[in-house]
Amino acid sequence: MSDLIYQLKDLKVSFPDLSQKPLLGTAPRTQVLKGLTFDVAKGDVLGIVGGSGSGKSTLGRTMIRLLEPESGSILFEGSEIAHMNEDDLRPLRKKFQMVFQDPMSSLNPRRQVGGIIAGPMRLQGFDNLSARVNEALEMVGLPKTFTNRYPHELSGGQRQRVGIARAIALRPDFILADEIVSGLDVSSQAQVLNLLEQLVRDLGLTLAFVSHDLSVIRRLCSRILVLHQGEIVENALTANLFSNPQADYTRTLLDAIPLPDPNQVWE
């Protein structure tokens, strides 16, 4: 019990389908997650993989309660958060943080990096903010002088580091990283992944890493959840998934990854 950080049971999420909404009355709902059950152990690095529309981002956002599920249960460190109200959630929020896909739209363009990183800590009532900001910057490998920079002055990889610094500054137990390297070129991608790997080790973080790219996930993750159309089609240890994929959809995903090798031929 104590070694599980998350226990999810029969989690269902649906959204109203506005394209089918009658003029008067409510829109029919589209089921996005169709009853997911799985656990996340402390210290795990969980990869959540799937194509567009598979529900992988929705799952992540529901786990940290940016979305409320329709039904089912989410136990986070033993407490039921599936339908917890915002006031009760707030003190828990410092324990689960998120790094967003697009660092340009998730960093306020009018604030300096120092203010961006300090923001959530201020809301959570932390003290010694500037020391904590400097420490967070150091952990993500950015110089202290960056506190006075604006997001537009930074490269894509540096912006993503700021997003990571903002999340780890609160010393969370769990971080959700949603497609955080898909906008970066290969060398910044490799740097950011190495940084995450190191932070997970040093801080004892539990991480959920959402991506459509299994080759990126292989390096980082210990366990992989493959989603397809709102259902878990495979939940396996990383090594097993790559050596012996069980689901057809997993094989389709693996086969679609372009390896840097001209001998790999696509049918």
Partner 1 sequence: MSYLSIQDLTVRLRNGLPLLRKVSLDVKSGEVRALVGESGAGKSMIGKAVLGILPRAARLTGGTILLDGEDLLALPPKARRQRIGAKAALIPQDPLTALNPSRRIGPQITDRLVDILGWKRPEAEARAFELLEEVHIQSPRRVMKSYPHELSGGMRQRVLIASAFAAEPKLIIADEPTTALDVTVQKQILKLIREMQERHQTALLFVTHDLGVVSKISQSLTVLYAGKVIEDTGVRAFFDAPQHAYSKALLAATPKYTDPDGSLMPVPDNIIAAVEREVAAFDAQMNE
Interface with partner 1 (CB under 8 A): 51-52, 155-156, 185-191, 193-194, 212-216, 218-219, 242, 252-262, 264, 266
Q: Could you tell me which of 203, 139, 195, 194 has the C-alpha nearest to residue 174?
A: 203
Q: Which is nearer to partner 1, 150 or 242 (CB)?
A: 242
Residue number, 22 or 260, with CB nearest to partner 1: 260
User: Which is nearer to partner 1, 165 or 253 (by Cβ)?
Assistant: 253
Which residues, 6 or more positions from 166, have their beta carbon under 8 angstroms from its beta carbon?
97, 99, 116, 117, 119, 120, 136
DSSP of 87-143, one letter per residue?
Answer: HHHHHHHTTEEEE-S-HHHHS-TTS-HHHHHHHHHHHTT-S-HHHHHHHHHHHTT--
Tell me the Cα Rg of the chain: 19
Name which of 97 and 211 has its Cβ closer to partner 1: 211
229 by Cβ neighbours in 10 Å (0-12 / 13-18 / 19+) ranks as middle
Least distance in angstroms from the C-beta of 227 to partner 1? 12
Closest distance of CB 168 from partner 1, Å = 20
CB of 92 to partner 1, least distance (A): 32
Going by C-alpha positions, the residue among 20, 99, 86, 23 that lies closest to residue 60 is 99
Closest distance of CB 35 from partner 1, Å: 23
Q: How far is the CB of 36 from partner 1 (least distance, A)?
A: 20
Minimum CB distance to partner 1 smaller for 170 or for 192: 192
Q: How many alpha carbons fall within 13 Å on the CB side of residue 72?
A: 22
Q: Give the pair of three-digit tokens for residue 34.
A: 């169709």
Residue with tokens 């003190």: 91
**Number of helices and strands (H, E) in the chain?**
10, 10
CB nearer partner 1, residue 67 or residue 254: 254
Whose Cβ is closer to partner 1: residue 21's or residue 90's? 21
Sign of dihedral through CA atoms 182, 184, 186, 187?
Answer: negative
Report, in Å, the least distance between residue 214 CB and partner 1: 6
What is the smallest separation between the CB atom of 263 and partner 1, expressed in angstroms? 8
Helix (H, G, I), strand (E, B) or coil at 68: coil
